[in-house]
Chain A
């Protein structure tokens, strides 16, 4: 006779809905290389234009 406590636990009957429209859902919910690349580009490209403008100012172009 097996101990009921040692029996394998049943999986959760109702897994949490992944597309619940009441929950915030970022564009990149999980970290990935692609997400990291987009994040870096979203910041680096505009800042590069600012930096280029500053450099152009100082070299007089």
Chain B
């Protein structure tokens, strides 16, 4: 048995843990820098006013910690406190349960579901970074995999990973599912996939992605198909759990789907949505441009993934852009893109040249700071 001191020395000095040290350090520095931007934002710029969305206060005595509870945080807050119920046009039934319920349960330990949620978001991000590194190492050398980690942290909507939002948990569950899929460990992959399907609607895309990916790896031969593929049925079962919960609480298993209309979403041909959103983009609102650019960027990533990433990643990428666009809007696409794990592997693959890498980091970091400042002051940011 090692002594605690030699274990600590190994963690800090041993070359085997170099990547782990890098991930933890990047996480601490990047979050620290982002928190500094948030702090400066709320002390140097006025908050949006009047503000009908501000019908809750997460932390009564801290203006700073409140900057992490904005916009959709209110929906998660209401699910955490009261469960699902109808609230007129827009309703909390549109949001998936794992994040708000975990915040509620952990809140019994921390004293508040808001503090528990923020803890959960930041810890999930840290774990997700390890998974992303592990996935990227299947395709890249160590320095490339480190780039993938940094792209997650620098992505323009990465500030949501520290907010009272489900994005971090979703990123972690998707990354976990793909990480274990890469090792052909289908039970843990399916369990992470099930958690993803309980966190956001697009989590269910993991089912066709992992199933078709696993069959493709086995050469599509019936004899090679393993009964272990049946584990993947746990992923749609996650959606089934949500439907049972909503059936029990609001009497309608499809409430989550019907509530989309409250956000102006309805079934549309995805490419037609791209056309419409590009035509109607409000140039005075830079985020509209960013959302359309994110959708277009995801399609470009699909083109790269077809030949360079496993089929499961390609299907997840494609599904992650088609599903929101099929709802008739590109709204929040930049936020959704932040959880599309294969996108970061693609970014790392195409940025092996120093100039490309620097340009992408520079552009992303600027956009991230801009978006974080807007979010902190209650301006729409996805």
Residues of A within 8 A of B (CB): 18-29, 31, 35, 38-40, 42-43, 45-47, 49-54, 56-57
Cβ contacts under 8 Å, B300 to chain A: 43, 47
Main SS of chain A's interface residues? Answer: helix
Interface size on B, residues (CB 8 A): 39
B217, B271, B277, B308: which contacts A21 (Cβ < 8 A)?
Answer: B217
Contact A46 B184 (CB under 8 A): no
Cβ contacts under 8 Å, A43 to chain B: 299-300, 302-303
A43 to B183, CA, bound (A): 29
How many whole Å from B314's CB to the nearest CB in chain A? 6
Closest B residue by C-beta to A61: B279
Given contacts A21-B218, A24-B309, A25-B216, contact A42 B278 (CB under 8 A): no
Main SS of chain B's interface residues? Answer: helix
At the interface, yes or no: B219 with Cβ under 8 Å from chain A? yes
Contact A39 B303 (CB under 8 A): yes
How many whole Å from B32's CB to the nearest CB in chain A? 34
How many whole Å from B178's CB to the nearest CB in chain A? 11
Cβ contacts under 8 Å, A57 to chain B: 278-281
At the interface, yes or no: B23 with Cβ under 8 Å from chain A? no
Closest A residue by C-beta to B299: A46
Given contacts A42-B302, A53-B274, A56-B275, contact A25 B280 (CB under 8 A): no
A27, A54, A56: which contacts B311 (Cβ < 8 A)?
Answer: A27
Contact A49 B275 (CB under 8 A): yes
Contact A52 B275 (CB under 8 A): yes
Contact A26 B308 (CB under 8 A): yes
Closest A residue by C-beta to B272: A49
A21, A24, A42: which contacts B303 (Cβ < 8 A)?
Answer: A42
